[in-house]
Amino acid sequence: MSDKNIPFQSIDWSTVPRTEHKGETGVAYWQTLQFDGLRVRIVEYSKGYKADHWCEKGHIVHCLEGEVVNERQGAPSSTLKPGMSYIVSDELSSHRSVTETGVKLLIIDGDFLRLKS
């Protein structure tokens, strides 16, 4: 069995510690599981949150609660509402999250999203 294999496991997110990350405005709370080449997070943005940077990493983002606007440099913004998702590979979008009302997201990222030539 390789180190990259992930055995079956149930996740009780209420037991996963939260870390705080300040935005340009508001705050983000992350609950993170890290595996070899894979990161899985529940991320909550407070009301009035605006990311403090433009991100170029790839993600799979699924909205669980609330609403978030995904601003993109040089492209139209998009809005995620509960039940909606977006997917992007590394380096294919410069984006940042903004929410007036707060939002709870499931975010998955890792090596599998690296830009392929």
Note the pLDDT tens digit of each residue in 36-70: 999 999 999 999 999 999 999 999 999 999 999 99
Looking at the chain, the whole-number percentage of residues with pLDDT higher than 90 is 90
Secondary structure (3-state) at 23: coil
pLDDT of 34 strictly over 80: yes
Specify the higher pLDDT residue, 114 or 22.
22
Q: Please report, for residues 9, 10, 17, 31, the alpha-carbon distance to residue 14 in angstroms, rounded to integers and kept in the order given.
A: 15, 12, 8, 9
What is the Cα–Cα distance from 45 to 50, expressed in whole angstroms?
9
What is the Cα–Cα distance from 89 to 53, expressed in whole angstroms?
18
With cut-offs at 50, 70 and 90, classify the pLDDT of residue 3: low
pLDDT of 1 strictly over 70: no
The predicted-structure confidence for 6-15, as pLDDT tens digits, reads as follows 899 999 999 9
Compute the CA torsion angle 22, 25, 28, 34 (nearest 10 deg): -60
With cut-offs at 50, 70 and 90, classify the pLDDT of residue 5: confident
Task: With CA atoms as reference, report the closest residue to 66 among 92, 35, 97, 95.
Answer: 97
Does the predicted TM-score (pTM) go above 0.75?
A: yes
Query: According to the model, what pLDDT value does residue 23 have?
Result: 97
